[in-house]
Each structure stands twice: as C-alpha cells, then as structure tokens.
Amino acid sequence: MKSKDLLDELDKTRLPRHIAFIMDGNGRWATKRLLPRKMGHKEGVKTMRAVISDCVRIGIEVVSLFAFSTENKSRPKDEIDALMQLIRDNIYDMLKDLIAEGVKVTFMGDLSYFSDDIRESLDRVLRESAGGTKAVVNIGLNYGSRDEIVQAVNKCVQERKTVSAEEFKQYLYTKNLPDPDLIVRTSGEFRLSNFMLYQAAYSEVVVTKTLWPDFDNKALVSVLKEYAQRNRRYGKI
Ligand code: FPP
C-alpha cells in the first residue's frame, strides 16, 4: 500500500487535536552510519518537514516539535553551530508552503539566544503565518519547560495575581493552544526531558524505538493507531 494511503486509513474521529514530538535519535542515526552527528540532524530536518505536512494533511490542529532545548546549549560548539546553520537554512523554507496553505507558526522558548539573522527568519515566519487558521505548528527553540514555568510564576508574582491552574496556562508559551493529547518520543527513551511538563498533565505518551530520521509515515500511522486505542480517563473512572 502506498504510504499516502496508509494515512487515509486512519479513523479521523480518534486523532489527537494536538500532537507533540520529542525528536530524538539523530545523533545515533548518524553514528550508526559512521557519519558525523550533524548529518543526523540534517536528515532530521527532512523528517520534520514530512511529519508536519502529514499531520496537517490528516487534520491534526496543533503539531508541536522540540527542536532545540535549553540543555542542548551545553553540547560541543561544533554541534551547536551545525544546528544553528540548519535552523538558519531551513526554518523559512521548511514552512513556507504550509504558511501559504494557511498554517500558523508559533515558537516556544527564549529566542533572544539566537543570532540576529536567525531571529529575522523566525520573525518572518511569525509575521507571514500570523493570520493562519488551518493548523498551528509550534516549535520549541531554546525551550525548557522548567524555565517556562518559573518565568510564568515570576510574572504572576510581579502582577500580584493569584491564578487557577487553568488561568496559569495563559502565562506559558503555549497560551491559547490546547494541551497535547499525545506526546511521541522517538529512539526508545522513556523521558520527557523538560518538555511541556505543565501541559503534559494528561497527555498520552507513546515511545517508539524508531530513530527520528527514520520516522516515516508508517511510523506516524502506527503511533496514531496506538493513540486511537487509548482509553483517556483524566483521573476519573
Ligand atoms: C535529538 O537528537 C535532536 C536534537 C537535539 C535536535 C533536533 C533538531 C532538528 C531535527 C532540526 C532543527 C531544525 C529546524 C529547522 C527547526 P540527539 O542528537 O539527542 O540524538 P542522540 O540521542 O541519538 O544523540
């Protein structure tokens, strides 16, 4: 069966509204092939582009992806440089067709870390996609959930506000987005690694052994089918 048909097979009534990806395993993908780690990230960008467009095509409303964490800044300089170059070269190109189709892009994280030219590309993406209503693509860049929560708490303190758990969400980068229904982590690691900790309270989590660069639409269909079988109870019976 063609891979496109595989996606069409899914029960559209049991899809997550919001799917979030922890894209892990790029380095191992490259090392297994005796390639430098940056080649894994390069391949990972292709997967990112394909996964985003598949998710939008089948009608998922929000797709979040963890592209660069606050902790990733501690990696060796040459790997960070390679990641910055990938972001610089791809962030606009990767998203421009989707933006033309009406997808809105948001970023979560402290963007002040990035160089001026990268920030200009990020601004361009935000500006050109601002009116999009078809779906939201939300990309974590220099994102860490603990920082996000601490900043939110500090803001509440500054404003002398006492807020409910629901109101607190308005202080997070993800304000106005629904919580992720499904978090997918590739490469077999059972961790959230500082990703959307507040938002993940009732998310279903699926861990797949597939390394991110190998995460094709067969793998996407498989995690969506697993999600469709989950019985979400939100603490009730
Ligand atoms: C985790 O794999 C992946 C990352 C740290 C980076 C993910 C980034 C991208 C896919 C590209 C970002 C580009 C744009 C345009 C937003 P790892 O290196 O931790 O893999 P390992 O666990 O096998 O070492």
Coil/strand/helix, residue 186: coil
Mean pLDDT value across the chain: 96
Q: Residue 211 CA: which ligand 1 atom is closest?
A: 23
Give the pLDDT of residue 236. Answer: 86
* pLDDT band at residue 115 under the 50/70/90 scheme: very high
> ∠ CA 8-10-16 to the nearest 5 degrees?
120
Give the pLDDT of residue 4. Answer: 63
> How far is ligand 1, taken at its centre, from the CA of residue 213, in Å?
9
pLDDT digits (tens, 9 = 90+) for 132-189: 999 999 999 999 999 999 999 999 999 999 999 999 999 999 999 999 999 999 999 9
pTM for the structure as a whole: 0.97
Give the torsion sign (CA, 41, 44, 46, 49): negative
> How far is ligand 1, taken at its centre, from the CA of residue 210, in Å?
14
